[in-house]
Amino acid sequence: MPTDYLPIFVLGALATILGLLILAISRFLGPRHPHSRRMVPYESGITPQVSARMRFPVKFYLVAMLFIVFDIEAVFFYPWAVTFRQLRLFGFVEMLIFIGILLVGYFYIVKKGALEWE
């Protein structure tokens, strides 16, 4: 029984050794010339105007979460579309209810002004 897991352990050991070897080689062979200019964040060749640690408004995160929610709901449409003929009227009604719930949520976030940029 333990011999069945031997290839998995060998693969894990080889991956760990290879990762450590690559890190060691880059540490010993890589250039080490720290300079204050090299430590500055680089963004498309433009000198940064503000600190890279600046805080973002909560609205950015809210829009990101809304994107994830509406992106995930799109994932539910694919299996429904594949099995649409087998589900018949029941599947159609269930999807209408699902879309209705999503529309209620969408109108709620529009009413709260979550998608308005100032």
DSSP 24-35: HHHHHHS-----
Hey, what CATH class is 2-112 in?
A: mainly alpha
Q: How confident is the model at residue 109 (pLDDT cuts 50, 70, 90)?
A: confident
pLDDT score of 43: 67
Domain ranges of the chain: 2-112
Q: Provide the percentage of residues in the chain whose pLDDT is more than 90.
A: 32
Could you read off the pLDDT of 43-92 as tens digits, one per residue? 676 776 777 677 777 777 888 888 888 888 888 888 888 998 999 999 99
Contact (Cβ atoms closer than 8 angstroms) between residue 114 and residue 63 = yes
**Average pLDDT score over the chain:** 84
pTM over 0.85? The answer is no
Q: What is the mean pLDDT of residues 26-54?
A: 74
100 or 114: which carries more pLDDT confidence? Answer: 100
pLDDT score of 89: 93
pLDDT score of 93: 94
Helix, strand, or coil (residue 104)? helix
